[in-house]
Structure 1
Amino acid sequence: MAAWLKETNKISGDYGHLLLEQQAPIDPAQLRPYFESAHLDAREAFHGDAGLDLHPDAGAAGAHAQYPTCLPPTARRGLFGEVLCGLVTEQYTFVGNMDWIIPVFLFRHHADARKYVFALARDPARQRQLHGRHGNDFIAICLGDDGSVVRFLAGEAKWRSTLTTGAVETLMLGEWETTNGVRARSNRGIWFEVNRELAAPDGLRQLQSILKERDPNGYAAAILSLDKALILRDPVVIPRTDLVVLSGNKAARRVAGSTLLPADAAPAEYRAGNPLQIVEIILEGGDALIDQLYDSLWS
């Protein structure tokens, strides 16, 4: 990571801003183990549902529909941004200096991807664009000495082929709208979604359900603490940190070291009141990297 991305990290109280700028190309093979690990749970779930072998031979029935390689380019780029979100969370220091872990990614809850793999395995002509996954893009947790969840991190991850000021403003503030001749942002972008998030979002329930299935003994204390946080009456509040990760290729006129969101203090549009971490990842040739990487998974 250090050879690939130059790090500029600023933390001021409850606000952190991490700028990662590509300084050298990276071999996709270096990223492949992490990406395969991130997608393995969903791959097992989707392949099982579709009746596919987990690692089918090239000539096996349905081999063309392997997840996530079979997904269309737009879906791949969205997944890349979400996995990159997890990778930087585990590799870099964030606001609060917590030891974040990602027991499992939540990709199995992408209902349209499951449906896509099922249909494509039976009809290779069923290629189409996908609807996005609902809920949190990403959940990480910090465990106490007893294994219970003492804080969680909820992330929003976005990939754009070119990270321009206008593209980021649209992501954060919503599309332009004209009402009574007045043109203004809709204010239904990322800030709107983050500001209205529940204290215990459905991503925690999704994480808990996977942990119950995959490792109920190893994560028993974490599962119990999530139960207490997710009950409707008198829940035990688990403190939350918000994360926004923006990744994409640099704009043509971008100046090295410049940021698209404030580096020293939280933006005025953020009103949720939790510790906030922003990450900007500026790449070169990112689209080619994504395609090479996803073509190579489980190859």
Structure 2
Amino acid sequence: MHTCAPPVETLEELLEAHPSINGNFGHLLLLQKDADDGTLSQALRPYFESAHLDARQAFHADIGIDLHPDAGDGDGPAVTYPGCLPLTTRKGLFGEVLAGLVTEGYPLVGEHEWCVPIFLFRYHEDARNYLFSLARRPERRRQTVGRLGSDFIGLLLDENGAVIRFIAGEAKWRKTLNQSAVDTVMLGDLIDDPAGGGARVRSGKGVWNDLNNDPPVPIGVRQLQRLLQEYDPDGYDAAILSLERALVVREPVPLPRTDLVIVAGNASATRDTLTCFLPFEGTPPEYTAGHDLQLVEVVLKKGEALIDAIYDSLWSENADA
């Protein structure tokens, strides 16, 4: 289970927050003040280890690695999760953990007290297959395909532990944040206008389209429910039951939803400090799903170096986790 609280004091010190909420719409701009000197990456390390622990245990068991400190010769396994994944994959994982970090660490639309009991990295099948093969064919390094479905799921629980709302997150990393890059994320690639005339238009196959066409309760909620059943069926019995009622095909019990979109990356050289590339005044017309909507822009300095510093440090001194 995910048990580590976000390092709120460090985040407040190193990230400048500019929040705004308008009804059922929220926008949050997070600006990294200075390039990481090791303070931010080390503060985030326990949170990232907690987020990846379930998948680490599951993948290592598949690979055939015994993580007990008394196993083997003490040199540690040659292939590990998530350390041996390529940088492109790490950037995707970083965004998914960032979704949980923002949800737990900052006031968002609705000002709910979200619960993040576990992350869904276990369901990253291509990473599982890649590491299994890499342990046996170390020369066969390649890029991996991202995990399908929602990047992140969080829960809002009532006083009895039942789920009364959930938050589904989509997280995207771009090396350099500018309007064109964000438009591609949200609206799709530029294509020739099907109507002719030689104009270039957006394909519509972006995040807005994904959110608008997502089932009211996505498969990530089922995956989260399965993990709760495995780890703590007694402690989360009310949550498991309420999720089951929302997941049935016939006559499901409606479960309110909040959609979260995070776009993270490095600032461009010409970017004005408070420039926002996502809508910040209200719900945009491209979003038609009708749920509460929270948009987050995270602007980093030397973000890829920060991501590598975090992932290179995970379990570096803790071989039994």
Q: Where in structure 2 are the equivalents of 1:9-48 lying within 5 Å?
A: 9-26=19-36, 27=39, 28-48=41-61
Matched length: 299
Deviations 1:93-116 (A, max 9, x none): 000010011100000000001101
Letter in structure 2 aligned against 1:42: A
Structure 1 position 145, deviation (Å): 0.7
Hey, what's the Cα distance between the residues in 1 that align with 2:189 and 2:63?
A: 37
Which of 106, 113, 122 lines up with 1:108 in the alignment? Answer: 122
- Map residues 1-299 of structure 1 onto 2, 5 A cutoff: 1-26=11-36, 27=39, 28-54=41-67, 63-178=77-192, 179=194, 180=196, 181-299=198-316
Q: Secondary structure at the match of 2:13?
A: coil
Q: Confirm or deny: 8 A CA contact 1:16 1:95 kept in the other structure.
A: yes
Q: Which amino acid aligns with 1:39?
A: H
Q: Can you give the 5+ residue segments of structure 1 that lack an aligned partner in the other structure?
A: none
The 1:267/1:47 distance shift into structure 2, 3 A limit, reads same
Contact 1:62 1:121 in 2 (8 A): no
Please give the alpha-carbon distance, in whole angstroms, between the structure 1 residues aligned to 2:52 and 2:189: 31
Cα distance between partner residues in 2 of 1:58 and 1:188: 48
C-alpha distance in structure 1 between counterparts of 2:22 and 2:290, whole Å: 15
Q: Whole-Å Cα distance in 2 between the matches of residues 150 and 122 of structure 1?
A: 45
Q: CA deviation at 1:62?
A: 7.8
CA RMSD after TM alignment: 1.5
How far residue 55 of structure 1 moved from its aligned partner, in angstroms, is 6.0
Q: What CA distance in whole angstroms lies between the structure 2 residues aligned with 1:60 and 1:50?
A: 18
Question: Which stretches in structure 2 are left out of the alignment for 5+ residues?
Answer: 1-10, 317-321
Return the alpha-carbon distance in structure 2 between the equivalents of residues 59 and 284 of structure 1.
Answer: 40
| Alignment CA distance shift 1:24-1:61 (3 Å) | closer
- Of stretches 268-277 and 50-59 in structure 1, the one that deviates more from structure 2 is 50-59
Deviation at 1:59, TM superposition (A): 6.2
Of the structure 1 ranges 198-207 and 180-189, higher mean CA displacement relative to structure 2 is found in 180-189
Query: 1:71-126 deviations in whole A, cap 9, x for unaligned?
Result: 00100000001101110110100000100111000000000011011111112112
Alpha-carbon contact 1:9-1:16 (below 8 Å) kept: yes
Q: Distance between the aligned counterparts of 2:231 and 2:18, measured in 1?
A: 37
Question: Equivalents in 2 of 1:173, 1:145: separation in Å?
Answer: 40
Structure-2 change in CA distance of 1:281 and 1:58 (3 Å): farther
Q: Is the 8 A contact 1:249 1:286 kept in 2?
A: yes
Q: Distance in 2 between matches of 1:215 and 1:168?
A: 39
The answer on whether the counterparts of 1:249 and 1:284 sit within 8 Å (CA) in structure 2 is: yes
Query: Percent same amino acid among aligned pairs?
Result: 54
Which letter maps to 1:280? E
Residues 214-234 of structure 1: CA deviation (Å, up to 9, x unaligned): 111111110000110111111
User: Greater shift after overlay, 97-106 or 25-34?
Assistant: 25-34
1:61 shift after superposition: 8.5
Aligned equivalents of 2:119 and 2:125: distance in 1? 14
Cα separation, partners in 2 of 1:137 and 1:153, compared to 1, 3 Å: same
- In 1: Cα distance, 2:145 partner to 2:122 partner: 14
Work out the CA distance in 2 between the residues paired with 1:80 and 1:126.
24
Secondary structure of residue in 1 paired with 2:91:
helix
Deviation at 1:25, TM superposition (A): 3.8
TM-score, normalising length: structure 2? 0.90
Query: Matches of 2:68 and 2:96 in 1, distance apart?
Result: 23
Task: Give the secondary structure class of the aligned counterpart of 1:227.
Answer: helix
* Matches of 1:12 and 1:115, distance apart in 2: 44
Residue 191 of structure 2 aligns with an amino acid whose one-letter code is E
Cα distance between partner residues in 2 of 1:176 and 1:47: 41
Question: Normalization by structure 1: what TM-score?
Answer: 0.97
Report the Cα distance in structure 2 between the residues aligned to 1:164 and 1:79, rounded to whole angstroms. 21
